Amino acid sequence: MKLLEHRAKRLLDSYGVPIPEGYVVKTPEEVRDISYSSVLKAQVPVGGRRKAGGVIFVSTLQEARTAAAEILKLRVSGYSPKEILVERKLDIVREIYLSITIDRSGRIPLLMASSEGGIEIETVPDDKIWKWHIHPFVGVQTYQIREIRSFLRMEDPGGRELSDILKNLWKFFWENDCELAEINPLVLTKDGRLMAGDAKITINDDSLYRHKDLVDLEEELTPLERKAKESGIAFVQLDGNIGVIANGAGLTMATLDNLDLYGGRGGVFLDLGGTDDPKKAERAFELMIEASPKVILLNIFGGMTKCDNVAAGVLAVKEKLGISVPVVARIRGMNEQRGREMLSGAGMIAVKDLDEACRRASEIGGS
Amino acid sequence: MKLLEHRAKRLLDSYGVPIPEGYVVKTPEEVRDISYSSVLKAQVPVGGRRKAGGVIFVSTLQEARTAAAEILKLRVSGYSPKEILVERKLDIVREIYLSITIDRSGRIPLLMASSEGGIEIETVPDDKIWKWHIHPFVGVQTYQIREIRSFLRMEDPGGRELSDILKNLWKFFWENDCELAEINPLVLTKDGRLMAGDAKITINDDSLYRHKDLVDLEEELTPLERKAKESGIAFVQLDGNIGVIANGAGLTMATLDNLDLYGGRGGVFLDLGGTDDPKKAERAFELMIEASPKVILLNIFGGMTKCDNVAAGVLAVKEKLGISVPVVARIRGMNEQRGREMLSGAGMIAVKDLDEACRRASEIGGS
Amino acid sequence: MSAILTKNTKVLVQGITGHQGSFNAGQMMEFGTKVVGGVTPGKSGETVLGLPVFDTMAEAVKITKANTSIVFVPAPFAKDAVLEAVDAGIKTVAVITERIPVRDSIEFIQYAKLRGTRIVGPNCPGLASPGKAKVGIMPNSIFSKGKIGVVSRSGTLTYEIVNALTESGLGQSTVIGIGGDPVIGTSFVDALRLFERDRETESIVLIGEIGGTAEEEAAEFIRKRMSKPVFAYVAGRMAPPGKRMGHAGAIIARGRGTAQSKISSLEAAGVKVASVPAEVPKIVLKGA
Amino acid sequence: MSAILTKNTKVLVQGITGHQGSFNAGQMMEFGTKVVGGVTPGKSGETVLGLPVFDTMAEAVKITKANTSIVFVPAPFAKDAVLEAVDAGIKTVAVITERIPVRDSIEFIQYAKLRGTRIVGPNCPGLASPGKAKVGIMPNSIFSKGKIGVVSRSGTLTYEIVNALTESGLGQSTVIGIGGDPVIGTSFVDALRLFERDRETESIVLIGEIGGTAEEEAAEFIRKRMSKPVFAYVAGRMAPPGKRMGHAGAIIARGRGTAQSKISSLEAAGVKVASVPAEVPKIVLKGA
Tell me which chain A residues have a C-beta less than 8 angstroms from the C-beta of C275: 257, 261
Would you place residue A254 in the very low, low, confident or very high pLDDT band (cuts 50, 70, 90)?
A: very high
Do residue C56 and residue B146 have CB atoms under 8 angstroms apart?
A: yes
B123 phi/psi in degrees, rounded to 5: -90, -5
Mean pLDDT of B139-154: 92
Whether residue D52 has pLDDT greater than 90: yes
More confident residue, C213 or D282: D282
Residue C160 has, within 13 A of its CA and on its CB side, a CA count of 35
pLDDT at position B35 is: 73
Active site includes B182?
yes
pLDDT at position D279 is: 96
Q: List C-alpha distances in Å: C248 to A192, A219, C101, C180, C210.
A: 40, 18, 11, 7, 11
Cα separation, B261 vs B7, whole angstroms: 46
Would you place residue D243 in the very low, low, confident or very high pLDDT band (cuts 50, 70, 90)?
A: low
Which residues of D are known to be catalytic?
Answer: 247
More confident residue, A233 or B77: A233
Taking the CA atoms of B111, B117, B120 and B125 in sequence, report the sign of the dihedral they define. Answer: negative
User: Which residues, at least 6 apart from B135, have a Cβ–Cβ distance to it below 8 Å?
Assistant: B108, C111, C114, D110
Chain D nearest-CA residue for C112: D114
pLDDT tens, position by position, A69-93: 999 999 887 788 999 999 999 999 9
Tell me which chain D residues have a C-beta less than 8 angstroms from the C-beta of A147: 56, 58
Cα separation, A238 vs A264, whole angstroms: 12
Residue A320 has, within 13 A of its CA and on its CB side, a CA count of 12
CA distance B144 to chain C (A): 8
Q: Does residue D83 sit at the A interface (CB-CB below 8 Å)?
A: yes
Do residue A146 and residue D56 have CB atoms under 8 angstroms apart?
A: yes
Do residue B143 and residue C114 have CB atoms under 8 angstroms apart?
A: no
Which residues of C are known to be catalytic?
Answer: 247
pLDDT at position B47 is: 79
Tell me which chain B residues have a C-beta less than 8 angstroms from the C-beta of C57: 143
| Torsion from C-alpha of C259, C264, C267, C269, nearest 10 degrees | -110
pLDDT tens, position by position, D63-122: 999 999 999 999 999 999 999 999 999 999 999 999 999 999 999 999 999 999 999 999
Given a contact cutoff of 8 angstroms between Cβ atoms, the answer to whether D137 and B304 are in contact is: yes
Tell me which chain D residues have a C-beta less than 8 angstroms from the C-beta of A142: 77, 80
Cα separation, C176 vs C148, whole angstroms: 11
Do residue D214 and residue B248 have CB atoms under 8 angstroms apart?
A: no
Would you place residue D251 in the very low, low, confident or very high pLDDT band (cuts 50, 70, 90)?
A: very low
Q: Does residue D214 sit at the B interface (CB-CB below 8 Å)?
A: yes
A86 phi/psi in degrees, rounded to 5: -100, 115
Best mutation target among B107, B272, B305 (most D Cβ atoms within 10 Å) is B107
Find the farthest-apart pair of alpha carbons in chain B and give their distance in angstroms, rounded.
79
Do residue D159 and residue B332 have CB atoms under 8 angstroms apart?
A: yes
Q: Does residue D275 sit at the C interface (CB-CB below 8 Å)?
A: no
Of A138, A146, A150, the CB nearest to D83: A138
pLDDT at position D247 is: 44
Do residue C107 and residue B138 have CB atoms under 8 angstroms apart?
A: yes
Nearest CA to C99 out of D6, A232, A142, B289 is that of A232
Best mutation target among C83, C93, C113 (most B Cβ atoms within 10 Å) is C83
Would you place residue B124 in the very low, low, confident or very high pLDDT band (cuts 50, 70, 90)?
A: confident
pLDDT tens, position by position, A188-220: 999 989 999 999 999 999 999 999 887 765 566
pLDDT at position A200 is: 93
**Mean pLDDT, chain A, as a whole number?**
90
C207 phi/psi in degrees, rounded to 5: -115, 110
Tell me which chain C residues have a C-beta less than 8 angstroms from the C-beta of A250: 152-158, 180, 207, 209, 235
Would you place residue D124 in the very low, low, confident or very high pLDDT band (cuts 50, 70, 90)?
A: very high
**Which of B118-132, B210-224, C42-56, C268-282 is the least confident region?**
B210-224
Whether residue B243 has pLDDT greater than 60: yes
**Mean pLDDT, chain C, as a whole number?**
92
Q: Does residue D211 sit at the B interface (CB-CB below 8 Å)?
A: no
Tell me which chain A residues have a C-beta less than 8 angstroms from the C-beta of C238: 253, 256-257, 259-260, 266
**Mean pLDDT, chain D, as a whole number?**
92
Whether residue B274 has pLDDT greater than 80: no
Q: Does residue D116 sit at the C interface (CB-CB below 8 Å)?
A: no
Chain C nearest-CA residue for D109: C114
Do residue B143 and residue C81 have CB atoms under 8 angstroms apart?
A: yes
**Mean pLDDT, chain B, as a whole number?**
90
pLDDT at position A219 is: 61
Cα separation, B302 vs D160, whole angstroms: 10
Best mutation target among A212, A229, A233, A252 (most C Cβ atoms within 10 Å) is A252
Best mutation target among A251, A269, A277 (most C Cβ atoms within 10 Å) is A251
Would you place residue D5 in the very low, low, confident or very high pLDDT band (cuts 50, 70, 90)?
A: very high
pLDDT tens, position by position, A130-160: 899 999 999 999 999 999 998 898 877 678 8
pLDDT at position B218 is: 57
Do residue B143 and residue C107 have CB atoms under 8 angstroms apart?
A: no
Cα separation, B260 vs B123, whole angstroms: 33
Would you place residue B85 in the very low, low, confident or very high pLDDT band (cuts 50, 70, 90)?
A: very high
pLDDT tens, position by position, C60-106: 999 999 999 999 999 999 999 999 999 999 999 999 999 999 999 99
Q: Does residue C275 sit at the B interface (CB-CB below 8 Å)?
A: no
pTM above 0.90?
yes
Best mutation target among D31, D113, D238 (most B Cβ atoms within 10 Å) is D238
Whole-number percent of chain D with pLDDT over 70: 93
Chain C segment 140-169 residues within 8 A of B by beta carbon are none
| Active-site residue identified among A5, A87, A95, A182 | A182
CA distance B303 to chain D (A): 5
Chain C nearest-CA residue for B142: C80
**Which of B85-89, C278-282, D44-48, D284-288 is the least confident region?**
D284-288
Q: Helices C102-115 and C75-87, interaxial angle, to 10°? A: 10
| Active-site residue identified among B83, B182, B282, B336 | B182
Do residue B253 and residue D210 have CB atoms under 8 angstroms apart?
A: yes
Would you place residue A123 in the very low, low, confident or very high pLDDT band (cuts 50, 70, 90)?
A: confident
CA distance A347 to chain C (A): 25
CA distance D58 to chain A (A): 10
CA distance C18 to chain A (A): 13
Residue B4 has, within 13 A of its CA and on its CB side, a CA count of 19
Give the 3-state secondary structure of chain B.
Answer: CEECHHHHHHHHHHCCCCCCCEEEECCHHHCCCCCCCEEEEECCCCCCCCCCCCEEEECCHHHHHHHHHHHHHCCECCECCCCEEEEECCCEEEEEEEEEEEECCCCEEEEEEECCCCCCHHHCCHHHEEEEECCCCCCCCHHHHHHHHHHCCCCCCCHHHHHHHHHHHHHHHHHCCEEEEEEEEEEEECCCCEEECCEEEEECHHHHHHCHHHCCCCCCCCHHHHHHHHCCCEEEECCCCEEEEECCHHHHHHHHHHHHHCCCCEEEEEECCCCCCHHHHHHHHHHHHHHCCCEEEEEEECCCCCHHHHHHHHHHHHHHHCCCCCEEEEEECCCHHHHHHHHHHCCCEEECCHHHHHHHHHHHHHC
**Which of A311-320, B271-280, D215-224 is the least confident region?**
B271-280
How many pairs of residues across A and D have Cβ atoms under 8 Å apart? 30
Tell me which chain A residues have a C-beta less than 8 angstroms from the C-beta of D58: 147
Whether residue C249 has pLDDT greater than 80: no
Do residue C113 and residue D113 have CB atoms under 8 angstroms apart?
A: no
Interface pTM, i.e. ipTM: 0.91
